[in-house]
Amino acid sequence: MAYPRATLIASLIIVSLGLAACDKTNMSSKPMSNATTTPSSGSIEKPVSASTTVAMSAQLSGASEVPPTKSTGTGTVDATFDKQSSVFTWTINYSGLSGPATAGHFHGPATSGVNAPPALPLNGGLESPIKGKATLTAAQASDLTAGNWYMNLHTAANPDGEIRGQVTAKP
């Protein structure tokens, strides 16, 4: 079926006007999705991750120390790491230690069962709960997010560490 040339041209004009009208009605200051366009090129950029925060945790026990201690003390680390700002924030709760905590550190890089030097000492009071935050270096952030940091608390009876736990991302 052949269409007269005038009908074809009129159809193209109507379609073009319709597309132009749709384009203008969808323009707003708020993006409709995570994808954005670049006005100069019209290309689509990569979507931005919805969350840059990684939730992390550790279970502290004497059995996790290297070498293990006979401590009945236990504890938890609840933490977050912001990948954009490199800020690591933590809350450490513990109980049942042989005496007052004399020191506490995040150590790394080290996998479970391996000792490492302190990467981040805890400053201030060591009474439970211990809350703090620090901005990490790129190397520290890499080790932490790879699961290669552990946290331990020291006491007079266990100067090398009484309870310990590997800090890992929550599932």
Please report the pLDDT score of residue 4 as a whole number. 54
The overall average pLDDT reported for the chain is 81
Q: If you search the block for the tokens 């069962």, which residue do you land on?
A: 113
For the chain, report the end-to-end CA distance as a whole number of angstroms.
Answer: 62
Q: Do 77 and 60 touch, CB atoms closer than 8 A?
A: yes
pLDDT digits (tens, 9 = 90+) for 34-49: 333 233 444 444 444 5
Stretch 125-140: mean pLDDT? 97
pLDDT digits (tens, 9 = 90+) for 65-94: 999 999 999 999 999 999 999 999 999 999
- The percentage of the chain sitting over the pLDDT mark of 90, rounded to a whole number, equals 69
pLDDT digits (tens, 9 = 90+) for 145-159: 999 999 999 999 999
- Give the whole-angstrom CA distance, residue 131 versus residue 120: 13
Cis omega (within 30 of 0) for bond into 100: no
Q: 24-28, 61-65, 156-160: which has the minimum mean pLDDT?
A: 24-28
Q: pTM here?
A: 0.71
Structure tokens belonging to residue 144: 């932490």
Stretch 127-154: mean pLDDT? 98
